[in-house]
Chains A and B, each alone.
Chain A
Amino acid sequence: MAERAQPLGAAGAVGIAAAAAIPLLILLATVAIIRVAEPGSGLTQADWAAIRFTLWQAFLSATFSVTLAVPVARALARRRFPGRGALVTLLGAPFLLPVIVAIFGLLAVFGRGGLVNSGLGMLGLPQISIYGLHGVVLAHVFFNLPLATRLILQGWQDIPSERFRLAASLGMDAGAVNRHLEWPMLRQVMPGAALVIFVICTMSFAVALTLGGGPRATTVELAIYQALRFEFDLDRAAFLSLIQLAITVFLALLAYRVLRHPGFAPGLDRPLMRWDGRTPALRLLDGILILFAALFLLVPIASAVVRGLPEVLGLPQAVWVSALRSLCVAGASTVLVVALSVVMALAATRLRSQGSWIETAGLTALAASPLVLGTGLFVLIHPLANPESLALPVTALVNAFVTLPFALRSLVPACRTIESEYGRLADTLGLQGWVRFRLVVLPRLRRPLGFSAGLAAALSMGDLGVIALFADPDTATLPLQVYRLMGAYRMDEAGGAAVLLLALSFGVFWMLDRGARRADA
């Protein structure tokens, strides 16, 4: 009560307004969906099939990702070798990797005429098909095995090193270390990791779009897309959106409770000194595991690059135009994320202990999957304007909502630290308002802000979700363009466009993240 009232400031007021507006917009979109959804239509057999497939593929993807990640993470935790840091960094890369590029790479390895099938053909074995359930699961494992590995590796790093020293001094072998140190940790970490991946996989639209389809491999999100784009059945799309919403909200709430670490936490490149597991057999096993994990990650990306690189310069003008369009969308989305996250973080800091709801408000944007939010906006816009004409702004907005929670996760604590370390000094010097922000906050916020901006730009650049709902044939973004070229079997051009997309996505991330670090030095 007697605490000096922190002046909220204009930025703080805007931050509170923004934090309130986000759940409101989600609510508005949900209400719009509920109003349109036909109440009497009920669940058809196809709907049940879509729900079953969505949950089943997510379950398989999560199970495989986490099960395979445990030995890989253990190998990374107990081995030290040159390039280990680079490999751990690489495990974070799929987060930024445009889905459509990865799909192109996976097709080059596992698809018809790909590396694996050529090998099988030479051995006279039957061919495998990447389409359908196992293709969807394969792609999801490709994306989420690295995430699971990082989450579990974090668990390993969180075991205090004194415990390992104690184990070494007691002469424990690998089996005993496993029983006493590793298994208790895994029992805590694995369910959370599996749940997060399960949630991600229920919302992963682009994978289902490219590798799924048909009555046996359609997810709820894919069904929404088909209802909206091909059957022009808004009621049904809205109804399916409600189903998807119910699934994600339930799972997201569950995951939020279980998850302790974000998957890209820094500090994973610090190897522990370990004394157990020094037998040659275990060394060989770990070496093979690490090699396989690296190959599984690298070969598809490398294949896409090898296939597409020679085609880049000869790409048709339409691809370059769509690249420019994607850059504009990514730029707008980045500006939005930066502006929203900064004012919201400032507001959260000013409100002190009462400010935690602001981060939660940002999270609600994630509770509705991007495609459901897109459908809601489609329903809202439809009576007022042609949704196709607003395809790009809506995409930028929805993309911003996806990155916002990550940006807030890093900016809110950073702002709080700045305030606690330098707030009083700034107060006694009379630094307030813009001067305080410019002189004290911004320079110390540069790193997390650069990282968040890079994340926003890269995720928006590579997003193939809402844009597929809204775009007319003429206003494709680059990822959509790659998808369309693949659909038209123009694989050379698709490869070139995929490489361009890859370069742009990582390029914008690198520019913003490194740019901020350099200015910081």
Chain B
Amino acid sequence: MLTLDRIAFRREDFVLHANGSVNGPGIVAVIGPSGGGKSTLMSLIAGFELPDEGRVRWNGADLTELAPGERPVAVLFQDNNLFPHLDAATNVALGVSPCARPLPAARRSAEEALEAVGLDGMGARMPGELSGGQQSRVALARALLTDRPLVLMDEAFSALGPALRLEMLTLVTSLLADKTVLMVTHDPEDARRVARQTIFVEDGEIRPAEDTGDLFANPHGALARYLA
């Protein structure tokens, strides 16, 4: 369970407040207008930003002071998920062993993870030789291998076309079934398709997670305006 315990974050004239928790496993969509605080929320959970007040907890353990690499969190960014000078298998293996020439064991598990995302035998390819969809799969393979219980996806597939995006979402649903996935998306349709729950973020206010079906069936004021 991810708990945001009375979080306050201020930056110039932007203020973000979050209080509430998310129960795993499953996919939770984060939607809302741009500039509303979706990415900032992700940064606070990942540890790229520190809150001015409040704590971030995972299953009761306080994460607030931990560096990003020490948190039980894997992140898929919108782009730059892979180091372009390292091949696909090394990029995946970085999830378990931080070196340019991974040990045979790490390399084997990386190849297995690549297989799981449908990239059998592509381990030696450089990111530049892969399509956008394949690059997303490599990043997903790393998240899989890292085996951290909380996965943040910050518009991870927004650069892909509609068909590819749907494909990736399906893959996430099946592969990361035992993880808690927070998925920022600019397309409410994504939320409807795969998210058990949805969080609406606007003007720095993080609304509590609600059942996606209920939320979209009876959108309240701000959400209705956003969806219109």
Q: Name A residues whose Cβ lies closer than 8 Å to a Cβ of B.
A: 1-4, 421-422, 424-425, 427-432, 435, 438-440, 443-444, 520
Provide the residues of chain B in CB contact with A4, threshold 8 Å: 47-50, 67-68
Provide the residues of chain A in CB contact with B98, threshold 8 Å: 429-431, 435, 439
Question: Which partner residue on chain B sits nearest A3 by CB separation?
Answer: B49
Provide the residues of chain A in CB contact with B9, threshold 8 Å: 2
1/0 per residue, CB under 8 A from A, across B63-74: the answer is 000011111011
Provide the residues of chain B in CB contact with A444, threshold 8 Å: 85
- Cα A439 to Cα B67 in complex, Å, equals 19
Q: Does B105 contact A (CB under 8 A)?
A: no
Question: Which partner residue on chain A sits nearest B8 by CB separation?
Answer: A2
Is B69 a contact of A432 with CB atoms below 8 Å?
A: yes
CB distance from B150 to the nearest CB of A (A): 11
**7 further contact pairs, Cβ within 8 A, besides A428-B68, A443-B83:** A1-B52, A2-B9, A421-B80, A427-B67, A428-B74, A429-B95, A439-B98
Provide the residues of chain A in CB contact with B100, threshold 8 Å: 438-439
CB distance from A447 to the nearest CB of B (A): 11
- Cα A407 to Cα B9 in complex, Å, equals 38
Is B50 a contact of A3 with CB atoms below 8 Å?
A: yes
For A425, A428, A432, which residue has the most chain B Cβ atoms within 10 angstroms? A428
Interface size on B, residues (CB 8 A): 29
Provide the residues of chain A in CB contact with B85, threshold 8 Å: 443-444, 520
CB distance from A115 to the nearest CB of B (A): 50
CB distance from B148 to the nearest CB of A (A): 9
Provide the residues of chain B in CB contact with A424, threshold 8 Å: 46, 48, 68, 75, 77
Q: Is the interface of A mostly helix, strand, loop or mixed?
A: helix
User: Could you jot down 22 A-B contacts, CB within 8 Å?
Assistant: A2-B10, A2-B49, A3-B49, A4-B67, A4-B68, A421-B80, A422-B80, A424-B48, A424-B68, A427-B46, A428-B46, A428-B71, A429-B94, A429-B95, A429-B98, A432-B67, A439-B83, A439-B86, A439-B99, A443-B85, A444-B85, A520-B85
- Cα A520 to Cα B95 in complex, Å, equals 23
Partner of A428, one of B11, B69, B99: B69
CB distance from B224 to the nearest CB of A (A): 33
Question: Which partner residue on chain B sits nearest A424 by CB separation?
Answer: B48
Question: Which partner residue on chain B sits nearest A436 by CB separation?
Answer: B98
| A429-B51 contact given A435-B98, A435-B99, CB 8 Å threshold | no
1/0 per residue, CB under 8 A from A, across B143-177: the answer is 00000000000000000000000000000000000
- Cα A444 to Cα B99 in complex, Å, equals 15
- Cα A439 to Cα B98 in complex, Å, equals 8
Provide the residues of chain A in CB contact with B50, threshold 8 Å: 2-4
Provide the residues of chain B in CB contact with A427, threshold 8 Å: 46-48, 67-69
For B9, B75, B81, which residue has the most chain A Cβ atoms within 10 angstroms? B75
Provide the residues of chain A in CB contact with B81, threshold 8 Å: 425
Partner of B83, one of A1, A430, A440, A520: A440
Is A428 a contact of B49 with CB atoms below 8 Å?
A: no
- Cα A456 to Cα B60 in complex, Å, equals 55
Question: Which partner residue on chain B sits nearest A429 by CB separation?
Answer: B94
Question: Which partner residue on chain B sits nearest A423 by CB separation?
Answer: B48
Q: Is the interface of B mostly helix, strand, loop or mixed?
A: loop
Question: Which partner residue on chain A sits nearest B75 by CB separation?
Answer: A428
Provide the residues of chain B in CB contact with A520, threshold 8 Å: 85
CB distance from B95 to the nearest CB of A (A): 7
Question: Which partner residue on chain A sits nearest B152 by CB separation?
Answer: A428
Shortest 7 CB-CB contacts between residues of A and residues of B? A430-B69, A427-B68, A443-B85, A2-B50, A428-B75, A421-B80, A428-B68
Partner of B73, one of A2, A3, A428: A428
CB distance from B45 to the nearest CB of A (A): 11
- Cα A424 to Cα B81 in complex, Å, equals 10
Provide the residues of chain B in CB contact with A440, threshold 8 Å: 83
Question: Which partner residue on chain A sits nearest B67 by CB separation?
Answer: A427
Provide the residues of chain B in CB contact with A443, threshold 8 Å: 83, 85-86
- Cα A488 to Cα B97 in complex, Å, equals 64
Provide the residues of chain A in CB contact with B86, threshold 8 Å: 439, 443
CB distance from B84 to the nearest CB of A (A): 8
Provide the residues of chain B in CB contact with A429, threshold 8 Å: 69, 94-95, 98
- Cα A2 to Cα B48 in complex, Å, equals 10
- Cα A288 to Cα B72 in complex, Å, equals 69
Provide the residues of chain A in CB contact with B71, threshold 8 Å: 428
- Cα A3 to Cα B99 in complex, Å, equals 28
CB distance from B42 to the nearest CB of A (A): 10
- Cα A444 to Cα B52 in complex, Å, equals 34
1/0 per residue, CB under 8 A from A, across B81-108: the answer is 1010110000000110011100000000
- Cα A80 to Cα B98 in complex, Å, equals 49
Provide the residues of chain B in CB contact with A2, threshold 8 Å: 9-11, 49-52
- Cα A119 to Cα B130 in complex, Å, equals 63
Question: Which partner residue on chain A sits nearest B146 by CB separation?
Answer: A429
- Cα A428 to Cα B9 in complex, Å, equals 21
CB distance from A379 to the nearest CB of B (A): 48
- Cα A3 to Cα B48 in complex, Å, equals 8
Partner of B94, one of A1, A431, A432, A438: A431
Provide the residues of chain B in CB contact with A1, threshold 8 Å: 52
- Cα A421 to Cα B10 in complex, Å, equals 24
- Cα A429 to Cα B99 in complex, Å, equals 11
Provide the residues of chain B in CB contact with A435, threshold 8 Å: 98-99
Provide the residues of chain A in CB contact with B77, threshold 8 Å: 424-425
Provide the residues of chain A in CB contact with B69, threshold 8 Å: 427-432
Question: Which partner residue on chain B sits nearest A435 by CB separation?
Answer: B98
Question: Which partner residue on chain B sits nearest A439 by CB separation?
Answer: B100
CB distance from B103 to the nearest CB of A (A): 14
Provide the residues of chain B in CB contact with A432, threshold 8 Å: 67, 69
- Cα A1 to Cα B9 in complex, Å, equals 10
Is B80 a contact of A425 with CB atoms below 8 Å?
A: yes
Provide the residues of chain B in CB contact with A430, threshold 8 Å: 67-70, 98
- Cα A520 to Cα B83 in complex, Å, equals 13
- Cα A79 to Cα B21 in complex, Å, equals 66
CB distance from A31 to the nearest CB of B (A): 44
Provide the residues of chain A in CB contact with B52, threshold 8 Å: 1-2
- Cα A443 to Cα B98 in complex, Å, equals 15
CB distance from A510 to the nearest CB of B (A): 23
- Cα A464 to Cα B172 in complex, Å, equals 64
Provide the residues of chain A in CB contact with B46, threshold 8 Å: 424, 427-428
CB distance from A350 to the nearest CB of B (A): 14
- Cα A228 to Cα B9 in complex, Å, equals 64
- Cα A435 to Cα B86 in complex, Å, equals 14
- Cα A429 to Cα B83 in complex, Å, equals 12
Is B75 a contact of A422 with CB atoms below 8 Å?
A: no
